[in-house]
């Protein structure tokens, strides 16, 4: 039994329809239709705000629904990731360049066009997506934030809730449709320093994120380990990881004959978050 089958069966048993389920979950009826038609994956297992509402109307434990969802994500996302060609970045270019600082926009555009979908364009695009996803994840349960984003994009509240779901559940190479409603509202500007390989992203709240990358001798930017790629594809393991944590995982060096596994990255992430593994910083004593 999969998620859609169980939900559809419970709706039929209780004489309910899709509209009533959509009203209870505060999403669009179209989203529920696609969910039950298996055109969309269920919400991520950690979306307890959604599963609590759905479980109440269906009379099922929220944990059971989340378990079914986790199984589907585990089976489907790896295949989905492998099928996405690099050219998926193409439609993103206009959006990404529009946010580049004006003084550097022409230079970045020339680089992107000289090497279409190349290492630098993918690095910048992927990092912007990760930052946007991180911000959306942090505010996903904040109704005021969701309503403000909806208003600025001329969307209804329910449409924007579905937009947040789609953004957080898409693979890290999210589509233009998933990404664009959030880019203008969350990202103020970005700039990539070609001298020290640093990407600086300024958010609309005036906070700044900086990411440092290394350039290898072949001109590529820090090849990702296959174990890290698999870790990032699995939402059960990596959905809560911040861009800063992901960048730290990317920068871990390994011997040429040692390849880290998915489990390695999961355990490192947990270790980074365990306060027992770190000593509190000590303030210099005054004399």
Summarised one tens digit per residue, pLDDT across range 216-244 is 444 444 556 778 888 887 777 777 777 77
Residues 6+ apart with CB under 8 A from 99: 128, 183, 187, 188, 189, 190
Given this model, what pLDDT does residue 56 score?
92
How far apart CA 25 and CA 38 sit, in angstroms, is 18
Given this model, what pLDDT does residue 84 score?
47
* pTM value surpassing 0.75: no
- Band of pLDDT at residue 22, cut at 50, 70 and 90: very high
Tokens describing residue 218:
């072949």
Q: What is the DSSP string of 71-138?
A: HHHHHHHHHHHHT--GGGGTTHHHHHHHTB-HHHHHHHHHHHHHSTT-HHHHHHHHHHHHHHHHHHHH
Residue 113 has pLDDT above 50, yes or no: yes
Report pLDDT digits (tens) over 201-212: 999 888 888 877
Q: How many CB atoms lie within 10 A of CB 11?
A: 18
What ranges in the chain are assigned the alpha helix state H? 3-13, 18-25, 29-36, 48-58, 62-82, 92-98, 102-114, 119-139, 143-152, 157-169, 176-186, 226-233, 235-238, 243-250, 262-273
Given this model, what pLDDT does residue 242 score?
78
Mean pLDDT on 84-102: 74
Cβ burial, residue 133 (10 Å; 0-12/13-18/19+): buried
Given this model, what pLDDT does residue 87 score?
47
Alpha-carbon dihedral sign for residues 66, 171, 161, 201: positive
Residue 273 has pLDDT above 70, yes or no: yes
More confident call, 132 vs 173: 132
Residue at token pair 């990255």:
265
CB 72 within 8 Å of CB 41: yes
**Mean pLDDT, the chain, whole residue set:** 80
Q: List 187's β-bridge partners, or say none.
A: 203
How far apart CA 47 and CA 148 sit, in angstroms, is 20
Given this model, what pLDDT does residue 90 score?
58
Given this model, what pLDDT does residue 172 score?
47
Residues 6+ apart with CB under 8 A from 98: none
Given this model, what pLDDT does residue 238 score?
77
Report pLDDT digits (tens) over 141-171: 899 999 998 898 888 999 998 888 888 776 5
Percent of the chain with pLDDT over 70: 79
Given this model, what pLDDT does residue 200 score?
92
Given this model, what pLDDT does residue 217 score?
40
Least reliable range by pLDDT among 13-27, 48-62, 261-275? 261-275
For residue 201, give the H/E element and its range. Answer: strand 198-203
Least reliable range by pLDDT among 231-235, 249-253, 282-286? 282-286
Residue 38 has pLDDT above 70, yes or no: yes
For Cα atoms 141, 146, 152, give the angle at the middle one, nearest 5 degrees. Answer: 170
């Amino acid at each position: 039994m999969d998620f859609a089958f169980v939900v559809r069966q419970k709706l039929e048993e209780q004489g309910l329809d899709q509209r009533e389920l959509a009203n209870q979950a505060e999403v669009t009826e179209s989203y529920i239709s696609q969910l039950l038609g298996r055109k969309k994956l269920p919400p991520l297992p950690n979306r307890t705000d959604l599963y609590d509402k759905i479980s109440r109307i269906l009379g099922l434990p929220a944990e059971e629904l989340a378990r079914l969802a986790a199984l589907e994500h585990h089976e489907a996302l790896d295949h989905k990731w492998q099928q996405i060609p690099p050219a998926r970045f193409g439609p993103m270019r206009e959006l990404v360049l529009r946010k580049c600082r004006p003084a550097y926009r022409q230079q970045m555009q020339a680089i992107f066009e000289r090497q279409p979908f190349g290492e630098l364009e993918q690095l910048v695009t992927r990092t912007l997506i990760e930052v946007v996803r991180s911000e959306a994840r942090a505010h996903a349960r904040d109704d005021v934030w969701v309503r403000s984003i909806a208003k600025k994009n001329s969307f209804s509240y329910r449409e924007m809730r579905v937009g947040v779901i789609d953004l957080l559940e898409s693979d890290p190479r999210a589509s233009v449709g998933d990404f664009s409603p959030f880019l203008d509202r969350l990202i103020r500007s970005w700039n990539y320093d070609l001298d020290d390989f640093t990407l600086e992203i300024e958010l609309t709240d005036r906070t700044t994120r900086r990411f440092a990358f290394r350039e290898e001798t072949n001109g590529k930017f820090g090849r990702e380990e296959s174990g890290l790629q698999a870790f990032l594809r699995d939402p059960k393991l990596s959905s809560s990881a911040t861009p800063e944590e992901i960048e730290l995982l990317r920068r871990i060096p390994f011997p040429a004959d040692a390849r880290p596994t998915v489990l390695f990255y999961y355990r490192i992430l947990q270790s980074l978050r365990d306060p027992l593994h770190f000593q509190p910083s000590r303030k210099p004593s005054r004399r």
